[in-house]
Amino acid sequence: MGEIRKLRVGIVGCGKIADGHAEVVRYLEGAELAAVCDREPLLAEQLAVRYGVRGWYGDMNEMLERERLDVVHITTPPGVHLALTRQCVAAGAHVFLEKPLTLTAPEAKQLIDIVVSGGRQMSINYWPNFDPPAMQFKEMLARGEFGDPVHVEAFIGYDLAGAYGQALMSDAGHWVHRLPGKLFQNMMDHIFNRIVPLFPDVEPEVHAFAYKRREAVRNDGTDALLDELRVFLRGGGVSAYGSLCSHARPVANTLKVYGTKATVEVDFNNRTVVSTASQRYPSAVGRLAPPLQMAGRYLGEAKKNIGQFRRHEFHFFAGMSKLLELFYAGIRTGGAPPIPYSEILRVVGVMDRVIEQVYPVPVSEVLR
């Protein structure tokens, strides 16, 4: 097999998540991290020095002109994704964007239109959906093991005192506080990108409510941030609950699908995919068997995970590696992108509906 040409990759936006991208790209065989850029050059410099990247820039146009990049990873806050995508596409680069894609669904549509009309490809970092358990789940679903989905539950935990949570709770000026949907907007891609592919392609009903559970009042911009979100959706014959929960412990990350044939739970943190055992034999004796069956299934998952670890397939960002492999392959061959654009638009559409309901714009602002 001939050696593939390495794609020249750039990163714009050298904040916290850029480290994850740099870490993944450095080990991808078909790619080379050629340059990084941030409007704060000192941030671009630190990322470049730590990852041995030759080029670092404080100006993206300069990076695009000098580096002739094949792909740009846009890891900035979402408010500038549209403008940066336009620049990248004009320079001939494909784009890989961090979530959330844009501030609103119409803006997301515009972004994808720019990419398509420029003859380029885009994808969004829905990496957990490409992690080993998610890939396993998709294969089982395609084989019809669960039948048709009837109900879906997607649950995302969030730790306001964790590394990411602390960064925004200690800084009222953090960009997340300026998003129309605040913390939820930054996280709920990962709720709805699991639900939407299981729904029929119809406009779903969306009922959302949210509240603030934490008691501490800081009397600053962080106070406006709600921290508990519950959403109910229904599309055709499928319903779903989506939750973002900042207070339940452990901080969970799960998807449960109730199908016509079986019910399965995907645990993204523990990397297990286990279908629920049912009682096959009658009476009290029959109830003794299912827990043992479940224990056996979890044991099988542990064995599978150990195997993946031994084969060096168990990285924290394994899903991002897989997603990028597929995305880069699509770029090379001109094949379909790994996440259909229609699916991305349906996700951001649901997000807009949620934000409208939980952070309604005051009438005074509408009239203005």
Partner 1 sequence: MKILVTGAGGFLGKAIVERLLAHGQNDLRCMLRDESKSRGLEAIAARYPQARLEFVTANLRNPNEIPRAVSGADIVIHAAAALKGSPAEMFLDSVVASRNLLEAIANELRHIRVVLVSSFGAMGVAELPRGAMVDEKTPLEQHPEQRDVYSHSKLRQEQLFWEYHQKYGFDLVVLRPGVIYGPGGGHFSNRVGLSLFGRFLHLGGKNLLPLTYVDNCAEAIVVAALSEGSSGQVYNVVDDDLPTSGQYLSLYKKQVRRVKSVPVPYFALMWGSRMVERYSERSKGQLPAIFTPYKTRAMWAGNQFSNAKLKSIGWRPLLSTREGLERAFAAFRAEPEKAK
Choose one: 46-54, 130-138, 274-282, 294-302; the region binding partner 1 (CB under 8 A).
46-54
| Of the candidates 207, 240, 208, 203, the residue with the CA atom closest to the CA atom of residue 342 | 203
Amino acid letter for position 150: V
Minimum CB distance to partner 1 smaller for 115 or for 318: 318
Amino acid letter for position 313: E
Choose one: 3-11, 40-48, 254-262, 330-338; the region binding partner 1 (CB under 8 A).
40-48
CA 257/CA 243 separation, integer angstroms: 14
Choose one: 18-26, 179-187, 258-266, 267-275; the region binding partner 1 (CB under 8 A).
18-26
Cβ atoms < 10 Å from Cβ of 44: 26
**The one among 4, 5, 40, 116 contacting partner 1 by CB under 8 A:** 40
- Determine, following the binding rule CB under 8 A, whether residue 312 of this chain makes contact with partner 1: yes
Q: Checking phi first, is residue 175 left (phi over 0); if not, alpha (psi -120 to 50) or beta?
A: alpha
Q: Where are the beta strands (DSSP E) in the chain?
A: 7-12, 31-37, 55-57, 71-74, 94-97, 122-124, 149-157, 205-211, 228-235, 238-245, 253-259, 263-267, 272-275
**The one among 46, 269, 305, 357 contacting partner 1 by CB under 8 A:** 46
Token readout for 154 is 């997607």
- Determine, following the binding rule CB under 8 A, whether residue 325 of this chain makes contact with partner 1: no
Minimum CB distance to partner 1 smaller for 173 or for 291: 173
Minimum CB distance to partner 1 smaller for 270 or for 357: 270
**The one among 25, 33, 36, 43 contacting partner 1 by CB under 8 A:** 43
CA 356/CA 177 separation, integer angstroms: 16
- Determine, following the binding rule CB under 8 A, whether residue 50 of this chain makes contact with partner 1: yes
x/- letters, 272..311, toward partner 1 (CB under 8 A): -------------------------------------x--
- Determine, following the binding rule CB under 8 A, whether residue 142 of this chain makes contact with partner 1: no
Minimum CB distance to partner 1 smaller for 15 or for 147: 15
CB 308 to partner 1: min, Å: 10
* Dihedral, CA of residue 256, residue 257, residue 258 and residue 259, to nearest 10: -160
Task: Answer yes or no: are the C-beta atoms of 221 and 187 closer than 8 Å.
Answer: no
- Determine, following the binding rule CB under 8 A, whether residue 151 of this chain makes contact with partner 1: no
CA 350/CA 186 separation, integer angstroms: 14
Minimum CB distance to partner 1 smaller for 232 or for 314: 314
β-strand pairing of 71-74 with 94-97: parallel
Which residues sit at the interface with partner 1, rule CB under 8 A?
Answer: 14-16, 18-19, 23, 26-27, 40, 42-43, 45-47, 49-52, 163, 167, 171, 173, 309, 312, 314-315
